[in-house]
Amino acid sequence: MATLQLDENLIIRMASNDGAAFRELYQQTSGVVYGFAMSILRNKHDAEDVMHDAFIRIYMGAAAYKPSGNPMAWILTIVRNLCLNKIRSGKVCEDLSEYDDLASPSDDTDAVIDRMVLESAMSILDAEERQIIVLHAMTGFKHREIAEILDLPIGTILSKYNRAMKKMRKEMESKGVEI
């Protein structure tokens, strides 16, 4: 999987109050930002709040952005810090997401079952393991890039990734899912 390529010029253009650049950045990154926030907070409402706050910070901080070749790392660092601040504040909502998306009769049963199995497998991971899996799966970040974003040694990232994959595989097999 290729890493999500984001043009640094979008952030530079945002610093000049270019609304079109902000819209384009949002369209390209909102799914990844939301998914990453969900991997940390495990709550739709809080992840949406953090996503909203993150895009405000990104827009307001665009002028201070220093091009480094990896604007997604900058964006996801903002998201991670906002998530950690929310957790530290103790204002994290109770996880009610299991009631939010109850399957409707028109839903594809196989897709609903697949989602439930994946959620079950992800739920056994600790926060860092979930973050590593989401960053690798959703954005295609390489392990060294994930190490930079999470400020952890590459060896730690590799071992946590492998451990998380084994845990998920075992959990899915215990549910009767062939891998």
Return the CATH architecture of domain 106-179: Orthogonal Bundle (1.10)
> What mean pLDDT is predicted for residues 108-122?
64
- pLDDT on residue 104: 43
pLDDT digits (tens, 9 = 90+) for 156-175: 999 999 998 898 888 878 77
Q: Where are the domains of the chain?
A: 1-94, 106-179
> What mean pLDDT is predicted for residues 9-18?
91
Q: In sequence order, what are the residues at sequence separation of 6 or more whose Cβ sits closer than 8 angstroms to the Cβ of residue 90?
A: none
Check if CATH label 1.10.10.10 holds for domain 1-94.
no
pLDDT digits (tens, 9 = 90+) for 20-78: 999 999 999 998 899 889 888 888 899 999 999 999 999 999 999 988 778 888 999 99
pLDDT digits (tens, 9 = 90+) for 73-94: 899 999 999 998 998 887 766 5
